[in-house]
Amino acid sequence: MQLLDAVRSVVDQFVGLPIAFVERQLILATLRETGGNRIHAASLLGISIRTLRNKITLYAADGHDIPEPAHPAAQ
């Protein structure tokens, strides 16, 4: 029950914000957490690596800083 309360607390902070903004924040935070490892980030997020790469391309075009992978093979 504590985990559910913690999730609700976090989710409440995003109420009223555009879903695209929330999605971008989650993706970028996951990339930071994985040290830029896109394969691992995609797995944690439950999306394909192709979807993640497409979103990263859009975010970069909009001027957002994208965490770079520590190892080139993790792209």
CB 68 within 8 A of CB 37: no
Question: What's the confidence (pLDDT) of residue 75?
Answer: 58
Q: Is 13 part of any domain?
A: no
Statement: residue 17 has pLDDT above 60 = yes
Span 33-48, pLDDT tens digits: 999 999 999 999 999 9
- Angstrom distance (rounded) from CA 30 to CA 2: 22
Tell me the CATH number at 27: 1.10.10.60
Q: Give the residue, 28 or 12, on which the prediction is more confident.
A: 28
CB 23 within 8 A of CB 51: no
Q: Is 6 part of any domain?
A: no
Span 55-71, pLDDT tens digits: 999 999 999 999 988 87
